[in-house]
Amino acid sequence: MTLSRRIGSSLVVGVAFLMALLPLLTRFDPIVAILLLIALPAGLFWGLKSIEDPFWVALPLCLSAFLGGIFAEVFELALPITPFQIMFVLAIGLWSIHRSITANRLTLLGIEWPVAAWVALACLSMLFSTNVEDGLLRLLRVSLNFLFVFYLYQVLQTKRQLAILLISITALVTALAGYAAVFTILNPEQAAINIQLRGIGVASRAAITDADPNIFASSLMVGIAFTTALLHSRSMAAWQRVLAVGSLLILLAGILSTYSRSSWVAVVVLVGFIIWQLKNFRFVWLGVGVSVLALLTIPQVQVIFFSVADRALSLLDISSDASSSIRLLLGKAALEMFADSWGFGVGYRDFSYEFARRYDLYSITYVNEPHNISYQMLAELGLAGFLLFHGIILAMGRMSWQAMKHDTLKTGSWGHVLGLTLIGTFIAYFVFHQFLPRFLTNAPLMVVLGSMLAYVKIHRLESMVTDPVSPQNRPSEQLESS
């Protein structure tokens, strides 16, 4: 029996089961009963389609990653779990059923063993750690994120699916950015507070999906990358560029409303990378001209500009913001930990404990989490962890770059736009997390990593079809592994 026939048979059985439930539904309120009659068959159909094609559940799973803790932050619901966690369990369960039916082989890209080695090193480092319980819990969470990345590049099979995914994510984050902008920088009361506070603290900064405005800001970078690539691509239709411009303006307003300097630096790098790759500068000069005109003629834009400019210029004065000076102290402490441990590191997740022990005054007054992923690896896992982690990052970047360069033969095509979006966002996230923690637990970043590796896989499969004798596609480097 084929998978489609199994799905059809299961659907018939499900409908029969629902018919048997009709007497029970009469005991509910009529509105509740009607909603159940609609939701149950729809949910059953969606679940069965997800078993047949896992992309049906992968798409809402990825979207839920960008919602973060929206229930707690916006709706003030004290739920112990997030939409992403619910969808993740459901997606892995449905994918397991799919694999048990189809028995397809897993696709390996060559980075799985280095990642496993990094996890093993983190476990080994906890043998001499003083914070074992927290380390194990965090490593479990990180390992589940790695599983999520692995799941994504198994499930995503075509560039069309990647395009649908990026379009859906962009639509979602545009809506979130619009909400953030309306209630922050476009709100006169909030704008006045930000001018007084100079964007310091979290009292009036947009943070819809996370308690930290910086993390919310980073979730908008995928949409900014995608719309920037669409806008500057020479082969896109006019209506696509118009939609991209509108979405990009909303996203930029949203990221400004967070007053997150780290994300602003990352976005500058991101946009510069994409424009440099596409070499289309017309819209840059047009955007500068329109911005200057708006600044000279619209008072509200002037207020926003001076408020944002004051926050941005504080980057040059570390004494103006305690967060800038504490970052330098955290970096100094990381180098001390590395040296004092003879290059072996203090143990995974032991940075905070060691910092509190060395700088007890600052650990009470400010933060003690490492705010740079590079020196975190150096301090906690030593030279071996530092080299292994950055080797994995470089390997992923190199594979993606090679795949994208192949698509530059069709500069501005959808394949090229997808590659630019994913690689540009990957670079932006790496820059962003040189200033902030949570690199390995950032769910939107994991979506980007999984999609980027899926892009590499799809490119290699296409190359195997068009050029099977290429050195890149020698039998020793085939993708499929049992």
Checking if the pLDDT of 68 tops 80, the result is: yes
Q: Which residue has the tokens 């905070």?
A: 352
Residue 141, C-beta contacts closer than 8 angstroms, at least 6 positions apart: 441
Q: Is the Cβ–Cβ distance between 170 and 226 less than 8 Å?
A: yes
Which of residues 10 and 317 earns the better pLDDT score?
317
The helix (H) or strand (E) run that includes residue 281 is none
pLDDT tens digits, one per residue of 140-193: 999 999 999 999 999 999 999 999 999 999 999 999 999 988 888 777 776 666
* Average pLDDT rounded to a whole number, residues 32-54: 76
Query: Which segment, 36-45, 264-273, 284-293, is predicted with the most confidence on average?
Result: 264-273
The helix (H) or strand (E) run that includes residue 324 is helix 322-340
- 10 Å CB burial of residue 466 (0-12, 13-18, 19+) is exposed
Q: Is the Cβ–Cβ distance between 126 and 385 less than 8 Å?
A: no
Of 250, 255, 196, whose CA–CA distance to 221 is shortest?
255
pLDDT at 407 (0 to 100): 73
* The two structure tokens encoding residue 392: 């994995």
pLDDT at 418 (0 to 100): 95
pLDDT tens digits, one per residue of 126-142: 988 888 888 999 999 99
* Average pLDDT rounded to a whole number, residues 429-453: 95
201 dihedral zone (left: phi>0; alpha: psi -120 to 50; beta) = left
Maximum Cα interatomic distance, the chain, rounded to a whole number of Å: 72
Confidence of residue 479 (pLDDT cuts 50, 70, 90): very low
Q: Give the bridge partners for 480, in sequence order.
A: 107
Of 21, 410, 61, whose CA–CA distance to 236 is shortest?
410
Q: Is the Cβ–Cβ distance between 339 and 358 less than 8 Å?
A: no
* The two structure tokens encoding residue 98: 């799919």
pLDDT tens digits, one per residue of 260-278: 889 999 999 999 999 999 8
Confidence of residue 282 (pLDDT cuts 50, 70, 90): confident
% of the chain beyond a pLDDT of 70: 78
pLDDT at 464 (0 to 100): 76
Checking if the pLDDT of 468 tops 70, the result is: no
The helix (H) or strand (E) run that includes residue 480 is strand 480-481
% of the chain beyond a pLDDT of 90: 48
